[in-house]
């Protein structure tokens, strides 16, 4: 089953430099999860037509899908396959593609892929040849109605550095994920909690669409505005929360925590030395 989020966001005229909408007309953003189209949708013209028929005016679809392209000088049948997030405009045209950069080892690829496949091993996705890695800098873009947006697919959201390493601060985090691997366990809840932590660290709202996981709208303080639980076929609707003032972590990343740790160790060392002096 697919959990789908429909986010209706207002586009203030004062923010028109960051957003491609030119008036106060609401923009509908429909978000589907990772691998919501588990086939080569971009190579199927009928899919593009159906998306255009489905979307109303001034609406966009953000979805996870499987994408393929020719692998350089390799034979025509040898394709590079990507786990991607794609944004479709109201005419069904893909206007932005992010190919997942941080792949799951043994889930989306095998170390020494060709050698291990030769002896009969395969990764969990059973994609022959494994998924290909997308460029590291491709996860950030400016989207109509959303502004500066940072994409994270699946477990990329558990890595804090992806949010804090951006030179220009994003206004929104989007996480598309497939949590079906976890089954009925604590895994989907832990994964959702980790995505909320990213919102708190950066002071930026998060939109999350999950297959068999927790989907929801999370504000910049980590509060859940709307959500749908695991294994629910549901539609989550709501307005887009605003970012807050940049947090200390968003400015300094792990440097601030490292500085506090060094200061604490230094203080304990000084106290220990003084205590030894007094007891001698």
Known catalytic residue at 34 = yes
- The band of 144, judged by pLDDT with boundaries at 50, 70 and 90, is confident
* The pLDDT of residue 217: 95
Catalytic residue from among 34, 80, 108, 156: 34
Cα 217 to Cα 72, 127, 198, 212, distances in angstroms? 40, 32, 13, 16
Tokens of 61: 């679809």
Determine the Cα angle at 5 with ends 93 and 172, to 5°.
80
- 190-194, 222-226, 276-280: which range is least confident on average? 276-280
* The pLDDT of residue 106: 77
- 39-48, 160-169, 255-264: which range is least confident on average? 160-169
* The pLDDT of residue 210: 93
- The band of 116, judged by pLDDT with boundaries at 50, 70 and 90, is low
* The pLDDT of residue 120: 66
Catalytic residue from among 19, 80, 108, 154: 154
pLDDT higher than threshold 90 for residue 272 = no
The full 3-state SS of 18-53, as one line of letters, equals CCCCCCCCCEEEEECCCCCEEEEHHHCHHHHHHHHH
The residues with which 141 forms a beta bridge, in sequence order, are 149
- The band of 21, judged by pLDDT with boundaries at 50, 70 and 90, is very low
Report the pLDDT averaged over residues 34-42: 88
* The pLDDT of residue 213: 92
Known catalytic residue at 156 = no
* The pLDDT of residue 225: 94
User: What DSSP assignment string belongs to the chain?
Assistant: ---EEEEEE---GGGTTTSS--SS--EEEEE--TTSEEEEGGG-HHHHHHHHHHS-TTEEEEEEEEEEEE-TTS-TT-EEEEEEEEEE-TTS-EEEEEE--SPPBTTTB-TTHHHHHHTT---TT--TT-PPPPPGGGGEEEETTTEEEEEEEGGGGG-THHHHT-SSPPSEEEEEEE-GGG-SSSHHHHHHHHHHHHHHHHT--EEEEEETS-EEEE-TTS-EEEEE-TT---EEEEPPPPP-SPPHHHHHTHHHHHHHHHHHHHHHHHHHHHHHHHH-
Cα separation, 29 vs 136, in Å, equals 25
Q: What is the CA radius of gyration of the chain?
A: 22
Known catalytic residue at 276 = no
* The pLDDT of residue 7: 52
Catalytic residue from among 19, 100, 108, 156: 100
Greater model confidence, 99 or 126? 99
Greater model confidence, 161 or 245? 245
Percent of the chain with pLDDT over 70: 80
- The pTM for the full model equals 0.80
pLDDT, averaged across the chain: 81
* The pLDDT of residue 193: 95
Cα separation, 266 vs 263, in Å, equals 5
- The band of 79, judged by pLDDT with boundaries at 50, 70 and 90, is confident
Q: What is the pLDDT of residues 216-242, one digit of tens each?
A: 999 999 999 999 988 888 888 888 899
* The pLDDT of residue 164: 65
Report the pLDDT averaged over residues 104-133: 69
* The pLDDT of residue 19: 33
- The band of 5, judged by pLDDT with boundaries at 50, 70 and 90, is very low
The residues with which 227 forms a beta bridge, in sequence order, are 216
pLDDT higher than threshold 90 for residue 6 = no
């Amino acid at each position: 089953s697919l959990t789908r989020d429909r986010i209706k966001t207002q586009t203030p005229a004062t923010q028109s430099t960051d957003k491609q909408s030119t008036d106060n007309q609401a923009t509908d953003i429909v978000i589907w999860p990772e691998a919501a189209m588990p086939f080569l949708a971009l190579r199927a013209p009928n899919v593009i037509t159906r998306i255009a028929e489905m979307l109303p005016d001034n609406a966009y679809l953000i979805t996870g899908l499987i994408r393929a392209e020719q692998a350089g000088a390799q034979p025509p049948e040898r394709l590079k396959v990507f786990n991607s997030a794609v944004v479709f405009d109201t005419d069904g045209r893909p206007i932005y593609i992010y190919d997942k950069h941080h792949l799951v080892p043994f889930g989306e690829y095998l170390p020494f892929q060709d050698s291990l496949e030769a002896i009969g091993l395969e990764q969990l996705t059973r994609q022959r040849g494994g998924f290909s890695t997308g460029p590291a800098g491709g996860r950030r873009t400016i989207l109509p109605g959303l502004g500066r947006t940072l994409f994270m697919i699946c477990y990329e959201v558990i890595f804090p550095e992806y949010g804090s390493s951006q030179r220009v601060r994003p206004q929104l985090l989007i996480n598309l994920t497939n949590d079906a691997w976890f089954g009925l366990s604590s895994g989907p809840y832990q994964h959702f909690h980790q995505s909320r932590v990213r919102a708190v660290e950066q002071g930026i709202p998060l939109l999350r669409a999950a297959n068999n996981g927790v989907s929801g709208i999370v504000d910049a303080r980590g509060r859940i505005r709307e959500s749908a639980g695991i294994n629910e076929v549901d539609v989550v609707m709501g307005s887009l929360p605003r970012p807050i003032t940049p947090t200390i972590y968003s400015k300094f990343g792990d440097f601030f925590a490292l500085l506090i740790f060094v200061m604490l160790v230094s203080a304990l060392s000084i106290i220990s030395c003084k205590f030894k002096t007094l007891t001698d």
